Structure 1
C-alpha cells in the first residue's frame, strides 16, 4: 500500500519498498523521493524465500538497521470452490500467507535487535467467512494463527506484532482478483458499508503500531463484523451471503 509508505516517510522513516512489479515500484519510489524521503527500491518475489533474504540483506546494507516490517502483499479470487482450480487457491496461499512467512522469517532477527514491530495486513475474511473467496479467507485466517502465535514468541523481546483487519479499501486488490480458472474477473466487487481511503487506513495503522496494538479493526464495517460474527455467527453468515451471493449465480 503506497499510502503506508507515504505515512511512514512523513514521520521520518527510511523506506525499503519490495515489489514484484518493477513499474509500480518505480512510480512509488519516484514519488517518495520527490517528497524528500530516503527510499530503497527492491524488486523481488515474496513467494521466493531467497528473494526475501536478499531484500533484508540489502536493507541492512543500505540502512544498517531494520526497525519494522509491514506485510501488505495480497491477491484474491472470486469464485465458488466448485468452480475453482486448486492452483488458484495455491497461488493465493503462496502470496498472502507464505509470502508473509518468508519475509517475516528473513526479517525477524534484525527486528528483534531493534525491539521493532511487525504488521500483517489481514482482512475481515481473516476472522469470518466470505462466500466465493474460500482460498482468500483461508490465507487470511492462516495469517491470524501465525502472527498471533509469533506475538507470544517475541513480545518478551520487546517486538510488537499487529494484525490489521480492514473491510473494504480503495486499492487494486478487487480489480486484480481472478476467477476460478485464474483469469481476471470482469465486473466490480460488491462491498458492504462503502470503501475506506488508503490514507485513512494507513494513518490508523501507524497510530495502532505506535500504541502497541495487537489487533486493529480500522473501520466501522470491520468492527461490526467482528462483534456480529462472534455474538451471532449464524446471522453474520446469512447476512454476508445475502450481500455478496449475487456475484455467484450458481450459489444454492
Structure 2
C-alpha cells in the first residue's frame, strides 16, 4: 500500500507531502513486520534434523537474493524513469512515480508467489502452531519474574537506542549521499572507469570472482573446467564491452546505489 501511494503523481502540494509521509509510515510498518517474520520462516525451514546442516546455506541464499535485487534496482529505476519521460512525455519529477509503481507491482507478484507455493512450507506453519500450543501449556512453568522481565526490557531498549541511530546513519546512502552525488560529483565518465556504471559489467566481475573460487575449491576436473569456462566467458564479455566503449557515459545520481554494500 505504501508503494502504491508513492506511485500516485500528486504534485508538490500539501496533499502530496502528507501522502508521502503516510506512505513512508506504511512502508516502515510493512517492512518491519514482514522482514523479521520472513527470517524466522527461513530459519524454521531447517528445523528438521536432516536439513539443519543447510541452514547457513539457506540464509546465504536469502540475503544474496535481497542484495542481487538491490544491485539491479537503481538501473531498473532509471530505465523506467527514462521510458516514462520519452514514451509518455512526463516530467522528471513525475517519472519517479512510475518506478514506485513497478516496485508496487513486484511486491504484488511476490505475494502471489508466496501464496502459490505455500504448499512447500506447510510444515513451517504447522510447527509454528505447535510451538504456540507448547508455549501456552508451558506458560506457568516458564513465566519470568518481574525483575527478569524488567532486565530484559531494559536490554531491548538499549539495543533499540543503538539500532535506531545506526540505521538513521546507514540509510543516508539513499538520501543525503544521493543528493551529494547529484550536486557534487562529475556527471559523465569515460574510459575504463565508465564500465563500473553498467550493472552488466559488475555482474561479469562477480562471475569472474566466483569462478576463481570455484576453480580453487573444485575437486574434480569437470568442476574446474566449468569454473574456468565461466571465467573466460566473463572476461571475454568485459573485453567486448571495453572495445565498444563510445566516448563519455552519462552518470545518474541514483546509479551510485548499486555500489552500496
TM-score by length of 1: 0.24
Q: Point out the structure with max Rg over C-alpha.
A: 2
* Structure richer in strand, relative to its length: 1
